[in-house]
Chain A
Amino acid sequence: MSHMPTRTVLFVTLAILFAGLFLPGPASAHNVSKRDAKFVQSTQGAAIAPFVYLGAKHMVTGYDHLAFLAGVVFFLYKLKDIVLYVSLFTVGHSVTLLGGVLTGIHANSHIIDVIIGLSVVYKAFDNMSGFKRLFGFEPSARIAVLIFGLFHGFGLATKLQELDLSRNGLITNILSFNAGVEIGQVLALTAIVLALSYWRTHRSFSHYAFAANAALMSVGFVLAGYQLTGYFATA
């Protein structure tokens, strides 16, 4: 293989330190911010536009979702493939977001967020050909994105449940929130796909694709470790 281990090590380390610097401090991946939470709790009845906005904001600022999506589309350059994979992800997270909130199933949000962090690790490992080279088989990327979509939706559901939504106008508001999530996802994906497409036209893409996925994997480990500690610290 073309890249030398030392160069890879250096690049991964720098990329991760860089990413670490920008990891938000007290604000967490999918906490709807405190001010927004007050609004949600004081809302009685349907409020379409605010919930669409909150859903979109959540997605655009939810770096765990973004990291996973970046991993999913990393090696996709045909629009048809991008639409297919993102649709699978959307179906997955919509099912559990709507289902979770409507049926009142409560999952531990830290555990869900650990799984979301590990989904980033999984996808990065997959992109590094880890499954093919180490285990001699490649699990279906489509099924994986669907299943992890279910967990991402559960994460969203637990956050909405913590807000103690009013029953009045609940379905309209969750659907609005979900619509906002999709809008935010399209916005975020447009930026990610544009950036990746641009990078792909440069030689450095094939040189550093492996290292970039190693960096992505490390981000996933950080997210998982952060939430795992949160689970024990707040238990």
Chain B
Amino acid sequence: MLVQEKTLAEVEAPSKKAILEATLIALLVAVAILFVAVLPAEYGIDPLRTGRALGLIGLSKAADSGNSAGGRATPAQTGIYKAQAGAYKVDSEDLTLRPGEGVEIKYHMQTGAAMLYAWKADAKVQFEFHGEPDHKPSPDYFESYQLDNKAGQDHSYGSFTAPSTGIHGWFWENKGSRDVNIHLSTAGFYDSARMYSDGPPEPLAVEDAK
């Protein structure tokens, strides 16, 4: 062999400064790689938003949801449940609407907060299930979720996830000629409730579930 081999001892020993420098650079480069690529890809931790920009976030999500049927317990698909912030509240209200009268009950909820609801009336009433974001583009802005202003209904049961932070609830109107009694029950992660009838909005007491 023409080129002389060097043993460990023959390779020139680097200076203290060079070793410290190289160690520091190695550490900094490692930290950069961790934050830019590894943590977003592996754990979905993305403080620099580089994971989103590079499309690495999908990797950790795919790993979480990837599964196939097997004999053993395997993690189910994601989206089955959603953890909720805030206190779990329950509320029930009894209303009586005279002919021609309308009333509104709204719950203040954060985006993504969930609620179960059920209301029943002893006759058909016109209603609209709708919401108003706290930050709305115009004073009259609202979003309609469900509307029946024709024949009306005497009940509605369901689950609801707030699309925006704001107030969400029902407007009922009695267009018949007799009084109608409505019973509303809700449970979920709202923080307060209000009733709107003729006068100013009236706060309703919602309870923390025991």
On A, residues with C-beta under 8 Å from B are: 1-2, 5, 8-9, 12-13, 16-17, 20, 23, 25-26, 28, 34, 38, 41-42, 75, 77, 121, 124-125, 128-130, 132-134, 200-203, 205-206, 209-211, 214-215, 217-222, 225-226, 229-230, 233
* 14 pairs, A vs B, C-beta closer than 8 Å: A1-B14, A2-B12, A17-B33, A75-B7, A128-B22, A134-B16, A201-B1, A201-B3, A211-B22, A218-B33, A225-B34, A229-B39, A230-B42, A233-B43
Please give me the residue from chain B that is nearest to A210 by CB atom.
B14
Q: What string of 1s and 0s marks CB contacts (under 8 Å) between B33-53 and chain A?
A: 110011101110100000000
Q: Are A202 and B3 also in contact (CB < 8 A) when A1-B15, A214-B22 are?
A: yes
Main secondary structure on A side of the interface with B? helix
Give every chain A residue within 8 A of B60 (Cβ-Cβ).
26
Give every chain A residue within 8 A of B7 (Cβ-Cβ).
75, 77
Q: Which of A13, A26, A128 contacts B29 (CB 8 A)?
A: A13
Nearest CB in chain A: distance from B111 CB, A: 25
Indicate if the CB atoms of B33 and A222 lie closer than 8 Å: yes
Q: Which 7 A-B pairs have the closest CB atoms?
A: A221-B30, A218-B26, A214-B22, A217-B26, A26-B63, A75-B8, A225-B34
Q: Are A9 and B19 also in contact (CB < 8 A) when A201-B3, A209-B11, A226-B34 are?
A: no
Give every chain A residue within 8 A of B209 (Cβ-Cβ).
none
Indicate if the CB atoms of A5 and B18 lie closer than 8 Å: yes
Indicate if the CB atoms of A26 and B62 lie closer than 8 Å: yes
Q: Which of B1, B18, B33, B71 contacts A210 (CB 8 A)?
A: B18
Q: Which of B11, B22, B31 contacts A12 (CB 8 A)?
A: B22
Indicate if the CB atoms of B30 and A225 lie closer than 8 Å: yes
Give every chain A residue within 8 A of B3 (Cβ-Cβ).
201-203
Give every chain B residue within 8 A of A230 (Cβ-Cβ).
42-43
Asked if B116 is an interface residue, CB under 8 A from chain A, the answer is: no
Give every chain B residue within 8 A of A203 (Cβ-Cβ).
3
Indicate if the CB atoms of B45 and A221 lie closer than 8 Å: no
Indicate if the CB atoms of B15 and A23 lie closer than 8 Å: no
Give every chain A residue within 8 A of B45 (Cβ-Cβ).
229, 233
Q: Which of A1, A125, A222 contacts B38 (CB 8 A)?
A: A222
Give every chain A residue within 8 A of B56 (Cβ-Cβ).
25
Q: Are A218 and B15 also in contact (CB < 8 A) when A130-B23, A226-B42, A230-B43 are?
A: no
Q: Which of B3, B18, B30, B37 has the most CB of A within 10 A?
A: B30
Indicate if the CB atoms of A214 and B26 lie closer than 8 Å: yes
Give every chain B residue within 8 A of A133 (Cβ-Cβ).
13-16, 19
Nearest CB in chain B: distance from A2 CB, A: 6
Asked if B6 is an interface residue, CB under 8 A from chain A, the answer is: yes
A209 to B7 alpha-carbon distance, docked (Å): 12
Give every chain A residue within 8 A of B41 (Cβ-Cβ).
25-26
Interface residues in B49-89 by Cβ distance below 8 A to A read 56, 59-60, 62-63, 66, 70-72
Give every chain A residue within 8 A of B70 (Cβ-Cβ).
38
Nearest CB in chain A: distance from B63 CB, A: 4
A77 to B9 alpha-carbon distance, docked (Å): 13
Please give me the residue from chain B that is nearest to A234 by CB atom.
B43
Asked if B151 is an interface residue, CB under 8 A from chain A, the answer is: no
Give every chain B residue within 8 A of A23 (Cβ-Cβ).
33, 37-38
Nearest CB in chain A: distance from B16 CB, A: 5
